[in-house]
Each structure stands twice: as C-alpha cells, then as structure tokens.
Structure 1
C-alpha cells in the first residue's frame, strides 16, 4: 500500500490551516492586485494596467500548489515549462501592445486524461501510463495554446474515470496523487471523476481548468466544491487526444469559479476538429455566431421557462438546509422573471437513474475496451498497449495501484466484453427511447428552456442523451459542505443555459472561497486533540516500555496500536512525506502478536514484541513491500531475503509497519538533490518548522518517529545520515560501531527505546560476515539496556573542541545555543575537557573530505552493482541501468532539476585502484593520528559536538555516536548534541546520552510551524 497517496479523505478540518498562503495581494509598480478569486476579466485588466504579469500569476499559482496540494491532492503534475510559457505570453503582450484574447497568459489546468505534447505525462491517474508519449496535443489543448493560455499542469481525477472499479475506486482517488480532498469539508467527498479540476479551481490553485464528463464527472465535482461546471453538448468540444471512457457520451468542458469564466473558456475550446470529425461536425452546428459571451446577461432569467421535477430530485433530499435553500432559489428565479413549472414528472425516471438497470454501465464498459485499446495503440511509446496490459500491470503492482483495496472488477468485466453486439444495440436503442420519451418529451411538452435540479442527481438523464448542463454554487449545508443548482437543457441549448446560469449567479452570488482559518490550526491541524485509540492509554509519545505495560494491563493491543499509527500516517503523511509504503499485512501481523500474548507464548521475551517499526526504504523486506531507495527505478524488484536486521526484528516479534522515505539513493545520486527528497514521495518536511531542512538521508525515519507516525524506526548511516536528521527532528539517533549491525541503526524518541532496538539488531550476520564477526566482540554480556543509568554522566571525561567545523566556536551563536546543555553535563558530574585540539587538524580535514569522497565514489558502483545482481527480479541490474532509467524518465526522477552527477562520476570508476587505495590509507591515518590520538591523549570517554558536525570524523573511522535532543532555536527548529567515541564504546556512550537526556528532558512533540 503506497502511503504517499492515502485513500482516506477523512482529514481534520484544521489540517489545511497550516498551509495558509500569505501574499495573496500583489504589488507591482506601486499598485495592488488581489489574485485570489480573481476572474479572467479582472486578470486581463490587471495585465492591461501593468498591475500583473503572466509570470507573476503563474508563480503565485505554483506556490499555491506547493503549499496546498500536499493535502488537497488536486494536481498530479506541474508543467516544468509553465514559467517559460508565461514569460513568452508577457513578451507577446508587450510586442502587441495589449490583450491578445481572453485566455492569453491565463494559467489553466487540464485533467490528466487530456493529452499534452510536452514534458508532462497523460496517465488517467495511473502508474500504468507513466512514460507514455502522445502523438500530439488534444484538440482542446491545441485551441487553448493558440489562444495563448498557459498549460500549468495536470489535474488529478478518479483513476480511469472510476471505470477501473465502479464500486471500488473512491471518488477523487488515483494512484499517482492519492485521495483528492474537498477544500471546504475535508471529510466530505470531492466527487469525481474531474475532482482535481474542481478542487484546484475552488482552492485558487489555478485560474480555470478543464474536466471531462461521461456521467456526472464535471457536474458532480463542481457541485461538491462550490464552482461552476459546464458540460457541453456532445461534439461541441473535441475529444481527440483525450483518454476515452465511452466516446458516445464523452465531452470536455470548463470548470471555473464564475459562469463568465466558463463561457470565456467554452468560446475557445468549442468547434470542429477533423480528428473527432463526426461528433464535432454535428456539434458545431449549435455554435452561435459571435460565440457564447453575448449571452452573459444580468436579466438572463427573464421569461425563461424552468421545469422542476420533485420526485426524486427534491423529495429525497436528506439535508433540510439544502431543501430549504432550493425553495428559496426557486423564489429568486421567479422574482427575476423566470416561469417555474413545478411538480413535473419524467417517464421511467427510476430506470434512467440506475445505470445497471438501464444497461448504461454495460455499454460504457464495452465502449471503454474498444476505445482505450485504440487510444493506446496510437501512442508513440507506452508501457501498456491494451486493456489487458493495464489489468496485468495492476496485478504486477498491487501495492502501487492499491489493488487489494479497490480492485479492478469493471476493467475485468470490460475485458470480457466482445464489442457492440445485439445485446448492446438493444440497450442503446432503449436508452435513446428513454431519452426521447422522458427528458425530451418533458422539455418539449412543457416548452421548457431548462430543467432545474439541486445537486447533480439529474446527471444520468443528461449523460445518456448527450445533453448540456451548467451547475452553479447554490449554498452550503449546516456543516459547510457546498451544494449547487443545475440547469440542464436539450442539445445545443447552451445559449439559453448560459443566460439562465449567469442570471442566477448574479442574483445570488453565493460562492465563497474555502475557509483556511489560521487560528484553529497549529495544534489541532496535526491532530493533538483527536482521540487516541484507547481512552485509557495515550499512545502519542509513548515509549516502548509504556506500550509494553499497557499490553500487560490490557489497556492496549498491537492491533489498536498499528491502527493508530496507520491513521496518523494517512492524516499527516500527505504533508510530511515521511512514509513511502505501509505494510499491507501490518494489521494481520499485529493480530498475530496479540494472539501470542493471549496464549502466553514464549516466542519472544523482547520488549519489541508487538511494537510497530518503520524501516528506511533501502532496508530489504521479503514481503509485499518494495525496497527502492526512494527511486522508481527499483519499483517491482524482488529481494531474495529480509535484511539481517529485519530477520532479527521479526524474530523478536516486532511488526514491520512500512518503509520510511529518504534522500533518494541515500543522497548518493547527486549533491544537487535536497535532503529528504526522493522521487517516490517528493520532499519530506520537518514537522517542527516546515521551512527548515529535515536533513538526510534517513529523513523519513526521523520525521516519522518525531511526529508519532511510528513507535520506533530504523535508518542507515554512512556519513551523517542518522545523526543529522535526528538532530533536526528532535529525536535520538544511535550510529553503532561499523559491523555491530549490518548497516542499520535505530532512531527513536528516547535513549532507552534506542537501546532496546540496539539489543535486538546487533550481532553476527553470515551475509555480512567479515564486518559483523569483527564487531561482535564489542557486544557486552547482558546487552546495552544495563547501561541506562540516570547517573551515567558521573565521572565521564568529555572533550569539548572550539574548532569552527567540529566544535563550539567561542562567542558564536552555536556556543550560546549549547551553553545550557554543557552546563547540564557539568552538573551531572561529567568532567569537561575544554579547548582541546586535534593534532594536524587542517591536514586531516583536507585528506578526510577528499579521501572520503574518492573512496565512496568507487565503492558506490561496486556495491550497488553487486546488490542489483543479487535481486530475484529487477528492472535494473547495474548502475549504468539506473542512469539510463533516470535519463529515460527524467521528469519522473527530476533529472533536469537535480541531475545525477555522483552516479555519473561513480560509473566512470574501475574499482579500487591505486588512487582509491591511497585515499583509504589516508582516511585510516586521519583516524589514527587525529581522533584516536585525541581520545587517548585526553583520556576521553566521548567527544561532544554540536548538531551532527562531528559525523565525518565518526564516519571515516567507523566510530559510534549518539545524538540526543538538546533544545530549540528562536524559530523553533530543533538541535541535538552528539556524543562520539572509539569503536566499541557504545556502553559508555549510552550511559552519557541517557544521563544527559534524563537531566535535561528537552524533547517535545512537533510544533508544525510554517
């Protein structure tokens, strides 16, 4: 189960408040312009008045997407060329001396089924089409580009229009972006399938958007997200280049904040397209000379005959507020001159509204197979070429596509269809009859201009007949959930519908933007007021010992504990990006642990029994999860066995909860890639101060523990990868002596928890025989827990350096931050040996940094190639393959932004040659004549360094270190204090770290500051 894309839409209402964006008012040339809620006309006027540029507008929306989309999930991809396109639009305006059309320079999102011939994917929200290449822009996109619109990105949707599994896939969910969230009520449905198009416009992440509709896919999400949705007559807009659902009913239309904006867009996208010849030739006859803008009339309601069918559209409304509001709106329609023809009936309405009974769904599935196969065959390149291929892809990638949760039953039914046969023809004839004898008869006999309905329940009527409709915001229920009013008409009646919808909108002006209030957010947002699983036992911040006591007292079960952490992951991970995957078997494993305890099984006496643990996504698990180092290159690879530490954890009864995110390839791909970023999850976020570095590479392991997404976690360290993220995220990280574990190390909230984990994971491993055999001699009889002594500081000699890089420079900000922690060490009985100097420091420093890089570059290629060759299956088998994969999928892996310089340098190497041997020898000398001599000369038990600044010293010598929370700066960013020692000195380091922790007790839960 891929958790970067959680399916749950049940997020606390306050969750979004943290994501408030400042700077909605732009000042240019001394003049102000408010972008939020601005209409196309207002934006064009701001362009003309030099209050705004297209580039500034695009920057605003990109920032807005960056801030809000981690929660709302309205956007799948942003166009990497959007800023360049905006610059070009600005240049065109300057050279032409003014406006070049209503949409010129206007940013627009298109649904991720609408083809764009650029650097973006067109995937219907599915990973199956990642890397496919369309032959050309969709017809509507060609018209938009010609009009000067800026294609900002791709909007999310219900994956494959929900036709993958009608009863399984939730509205607004797709594998690529996760669950779209209603910006008004986060627990409310965003509806679909054009969910992202509606969410993005509603939340001001874009000016306008395009959606598609087969059956309610524009009308319903517009209704639920308080925006205007216009479903055109079939054929009025081209479907060419759009991933099809059921071409006989598919249409493309605008989703905007106002009727006027929707009409501006319709004027551009409507028209004949030879690539969709039959439909658009028929639809084009309805386009009025002069376009649709002329029908934006304030008095548009005057004289219009509007029909009301109360059963079932009004009588079955469950919300009294909506029912009352609808009656009020009928009164408004009458007051504005409309003639409301009430209490009408549509023949066979129950059959029309039931797509199973009418056969609509059967024909839709058959149409889908025929049309999607044709679409896939026309792609220039594609990983899949048929519906069969898509089904197989999903079966091969069940966690990625959440196959167990949502299924693909409708796909399978569609694949079993054999084309339009007699049965399908009979259904189509019946649907045509239902339309003619139902809706068309109603409209003609009563001389109606439009049918008026609350919400979107009339969509099936409009779908099967290819009729147009417009929905307009009509109000909000008692919980704040939006609802709309829909005006539907006969084919080609868009002019009348525009008049009616615009007249209603101007008379009511109901729409309001989502309320992202700031005051209620900071704490409740990330859920510190939500109920814990057990009212008797508070799970958040609980230690391993606390949890085991709760197990013993029957106040908690492993199942409840796992369910709590999964809920926290679903709630917080969309912003924090700390977890890549959750183990689909986690709850089953928790039940097993509970049964073992109930039976008094002696399977494990470990304190980790029944405890959920996250492991970094480069630690192999032989289960249903991937092991990918955060890269798409390894998706689908199969490891031959659990990593050694995972074997030990499972034997101890721990529950592998999931995989934590990381700096991709442990930050080994390129120095340009930010700490905490990987392609599979994006940029991880520091839970204390969002704008601060979360550090890496074990970023997700530290964030997850800090934010209570897991009890404990494992990371890995080469140089700073445990110590640095632990420091920045206010948690405890232990870097053991090299070989004490295979490579993996604990990150926890307390020193005691870290010691419990260390006791389980250390020891000899035949798969890492040389290193673990050598280090096993350091493991003390009785383990490490015995060194958890409150007076552990007493008598310890601790070295304090004043070197700029490693120490506490005098009269610096660092020395001020650590004044109290150092005092705590003295008060605890430690002897601080101050002003120590590392012999030959400058020489050591240079050889250390240069030599370390040379050695790491060569070893990366050797070790990675060996690992890849040992996999049972893998899309890549060498570093060269990975480099080629990244080049092929450069957008997915952000090669343009971050590159792969270190990979390229490593690939040039030819093993451990003379240069590398010399570098390794220099590193050995630097350790022996630097750190080791220093420790011996001053008889030190540990060297104390601020943050993780001593990590290079510890790295090159394979020395251990422990970092403990030491405080928070003025902005709320955490910082830690690190205790490093000679190989095998973990007992002393644990005594020191635990003594300091118990004396200071600095750690506090995240503050979630911007």
Structure 2
C-alpha cells in the first residue's frame, strides 16, 4: 500500500488519520521507514541497528487499533539513541567496540514509557561515540561501531553531536521520531544542524534510568522530530517520575504540554533577543525570524548576551563521569567494572579508538567520590554563574518568558543550569547549511517555550534536504 502513498515528512496526526481511514497501517509506515533505511543508511550511517521485531510490533499496534485502543503514539516508529538501553534483540553500545556485544536486556524508563504509549521501536541510532566523552577532537557523529554519521543536507556539513544519528535520521525521513540525549549541546547542536525540532528538557523532566551516563548534574534525554507538535507529543510520553532518579520527583504540575500548541497563547509574551557576532547572512536570517515573532504578537526585548566565560570547561564532567560510568557498569553483565577496565580494553585494541581516549584517561585520574574541593567549588560556581546569577537573573530582571537565540548559541549555559531549550528550523544558508532558532528559558518553563516556539514555527516550512 505504501507504494501508492507518499509518506515523506509524515507526522503523527497524519499517520493516525491514515490508520483511522484505512489508507495505510502502522505496518505500512514501519515498512516505509525500513525501506528508507535500506536505501540511505549506507550513505548516512545514521542507524546502528534495526529492531528485528519492528514489523511485529507494528502489526500488534494495528490489531490494537482495530480493537479500539487509542494511544498518543500508537503505531508511531521511534529510533532510540544507542546510549539508551533497550530490551529484546537490540544491543546498547554507545557506539563503542568495547560494548559491541552488550545486550542490556531491559528498557530504559523512557523507552518503557514510549512503549506504553504505543510507539514502535524502530532501532538504535548512531552517535558520537560514548556521547562524545571518549576523547578530544573526535569528529561529530563518529563511532567505532557505526562509522561517520553524515548530514543529509551535505556531506561537507557538520552533522552535530552527539545525537547525530537521531538528528540525521529524522531529517532524512528514516524515522518519524527519535530520542536523543544531552549533557551539553548534544540535542540542540545536531537538531539545528539538521533542520529539525529538538527539545532538550529541564534536567529531571525525563528519567535518566537506563541511559549510559556522563554527568548526573546535566544529563537528560529528549525527543527529536520534524515538527514541534510531534516532538511535544513524544515529550509527554517520555516524562514522569521515577524513584530511581530523584531529579524526576515532585516536578511542577501543569496542563498537558500539547495544550500549549496554540499561537494565540503567545500573544503578549516577552522574549529576549541578543546582539551577537554573526555573519551578514546569519544576521539577516536572525532579523527575519525576529520579525516573524513580532508579527505573532510577541514582545521583543533586547538583552545583553549571557556571559558564559566563567563556566567550567570540563572538569565537573570528568569527576561525575567516573562515578556515573562505574555505577552503570555495576548494573550490567559486562566484564568491565571500572573505568580503568575500559581504558585497558581500549589500549589493548587501539584500532577501536583511532582518536584516542583522552577524556577517559582524565576522568580516571580522579577519585570518583566527588569529594575534591575543586569539583565542589566549580559545581557550585557553575550553578551560580549559569543559573541564579545567569539565565534566571536575566529572565527575571526583564520579566521575560524566554530567550530566542540564533542557531545553537549559548547552549552550554542552559546545559549547566539544567534549563530547557527548544530548536526550530528556519532556513538554508547559501552554503547549504541549515539555520534555526533556539528558545531557552528557566527550569520547567517548557510550556512557555512551546508557546513561543509554536508561534514562530507556524510561519515556517521546514526546508528539506535535497540529497535524500
């Protein structure tokens, strides 16, 4: 049936309408994405593994639909970044040869929630190996297991990282939805570089249980899709409290995020914009985007660019990674129990780490107990500089609902603060590279950011990649 129907740029609403009208089935949609993976993945290297049960899961969704079951993501294919655990016949490798035979045999909390909401797990996405925390100067999107992820807008363009495969696959229509993860920029960066919508939520909105960790302070997962509506529906499915992740407990209540997909709710909202050093072309695009926001009834307020020069540039992550990865290894059947074990395996297999393992080695020199005075001071300084004296003070002083920033500007400050960011695609530059906007706010301000982002998105048609 899919031979007669164009499913390119399919969204959830259209998929569910097709299921209702009998135009196509969840199996048809899943088969379509599998055919797209077969056609394009040898070029893009976006998908590490296909779920061998994907068609069975889709057929089960079709049977459920015929019985009257209605779920937000029923029959919707989702690709999962390969640092997120999945049950069944799918490995969880983080792109690393050291984990190339690792079957987690359990679902991360967020994957369990996606399944409960009806999603079809399509497979696992490539990523910057170890979520870009193995070494320094490794290309975005490269992993030993999956090779070099490519940007569908051009082989010469940065694909972004570390959720590279998730972004590339969504942009190239290899999946309808994807899950990414972020410690510092790893959802925001590839989303803007691949002209898709990404939501990096407040730390604690989505459980980290079952995600291979980097930083307990900053890690989060988040949804990635071609439209804000789809991304928000995935967010609603993924979030919720989890006793094994204290950050998720007693988060603020509010209306469903999808109720904020109404441009009228953005009228009169105040958003800050910045003057930054952009190219003439980028400045023109940014100005055009700001004009669209103004035409939507949003009040624009020029603000000073947030200063991130005082933020820690990595030491905090090294401290937290050693503790986190060893705690994670203790829950698995892997032969490694310490970071030292992983380093020794890599050293014995140098072909598996052509870019080295500098980050691993730096982290391994630390205690992993988080007792060092330097760590504690820098962590508290980061909270103050990025959050209380940074973004929060800026938003409060000017009574702002959020900031609208060009491309992925200042993503690291929001990451340090644990604050949310939403990316919306906008245009293609003369170089062929996508250009978009990032909307950032204070913790648990997702509803306000969705209102702002939706008011902007309704003016925009996502520019499609020409190469796929």
TM-score, L = length of structure 2:
0.97
Q: How many aligned positions are there? A: 465
Deviations 1:441-480 (A, max 9, x none): 1000000111111011211110111000100002111111
> Helix, strand or coil: the match of 2:423?
strand
- The equivalent residue for 2:47 is 75
- The equivalent residue for 2:25 is 53
- The equivalent residue for 1:267 is 236
- Of the three residues 28, 38, 45, the one matched with 2:10 is 38
- The equivalent residue for 1:847 is none
Q: How do residues 542-691 of structure 1 correspond to structure 2 at under 5 angstroms? A: none
- Of the three residues 424, 445, 455, the one matched with 2:397 is 445
Cα deviation, residue 215, structure 1: 0.2
Provide the C-alpha distance between the structure 1 equivalents of 2:120 and 2:231, rounded to a whole number of angstroms. Answer: 16
- The equivalent residue for 1:344 is 304
- The equivalent residue for 1:87 is 59
Unmatched segments (≥5 aa) in structure 2: none
Provide the C-alpha distance between the structure 1 equivalents of 2:433 and 2:215, rounded to a whole number of angstroms. Answer: 31
Cα deviation, residue 174, structure 1: 0.5
Cα deviation, residue 135, structure 1: 5.2
- Of the three residues 377, 381, 385, the one matched with 1:426 is 377
- The equivalent residue for 2:428 is 476
Provide the C-alpha distance between the structure 2 equivalents of 1:94 and 1:113, rounded to a whole number of angstroms. Answer: 34
Deviations 1:802-847 (A, max 9, x none): xxxxxxxxxxxxxxxxxxxxxxxxxxxxxxxxxxxxxxxxxxxxxx
- The equivalent residue for 1:187 is 156
Cα deviation, residue 136, structure 1: 2.1
Q: How do residues 33-432 of structure 1 correspond to structure 2 at under 5 angstroms? A: 33-96=5-68, 100-134=70-104, 136-165=106-135, 167-276=136-245, 278-282=246-250, 285-289=251-255, 291-310=256-275, 314=276, 316-317=277-278, 319-346=279-306, 348-352=307-311, 355-356=312-313, 361-379=314-332, 381-402=333-354, 406-419=355-368, 420=370, 421-432=372-383
- C-alpha RMSD over aligned residues: 1.4
> Helix, strand or coil: the match of 1:56?
helix
Deviations 1:880-920 (A, max 9, x none): xxxxxxxxxxxxxxxxxxxxxxxxxxxxxxxxxxxxxxxxx
Deviations 1:379-398 (A, max 9, x none): 1x214332112111211211
- The equivalent residue for 1:809 is none
Cα deviation, residue 323, structure 1: 1.3
Q: How do residues 506-905 of structure 1 correspond to structure 2 at under 5 angstroms? A: 506-509=458-461, 511-516=462-467
TM-score, L = length of structure 1:
0.45
- Of the three residues 414, 429, 446, the one matched with 1:462 is 414
> Helix, strand or coil: the match of 1:491?
coil
| Aligned partners of 2:100 and 2:145 also within 8 Å | no
Provide the C-alpha distance between the structure 1 equivalents of 2:83 and 2:184, rounded to a whole number of angstroms. Answer: 15
Q: Go from structure 1 to structure 2 and tell me whether the alpha carbon gap of 1:120 and 1:363 turns closer, same or farther (over 3 Å shift).
A: same
Cα deviation, residue 67, structure 1: 1.1
Provide the C-alpha distance between the structure 2 equivalents of 1:439 and 1:266, rounded to a whole number of angstroms. Answer: 23
> Helix, strand or coil: the match of 1:205?
coil
Provide the C-alpha distance between the structure 2 equivalents of 1:443 and 1:174, rounded to a whole number of angstroms. Answer: 38
Deviations 1:347-372 (A, max 9, x none): x43223xx42xxxx101011111001
Cα deviation, residue 516, structure 1: 2.5
| Aligned partners of 2:427 and 2:463 also within 8 Å | no
Deviations 1:469-502 (A, max 9, x none): 1000021111111021000000111111111111
- The equivalent residue for 1:505 is 457
> Helix, strand or coil: the match of 1:442?
helix
Deviations 1:754-811 (A, max 9, x none): xxxxxxxxxxxxxxxxxxxxxxxxxxxxxxxxxxxxxxxxxxxxxxxxxxxxxxxxxx
Deviations 1:727-775 (A, max 9, x none): xxxxxxxxxxxxxxxxxxxxxxxxxxxxxxxxxxxxxxxxxxxxxxxxx
Provide the C-alpha distance between the structure 1 equivalents of 2:253 and 2:54, rounded to a whole number of angstroms. Answer: 31
Deviations 1:161-200 (A, max 9, x none): 11111x2221110111111100002101101000110000
Cα deviation, residue 287, structure 1: 4.0
Max radius of gyration: which structure? Answer: 1
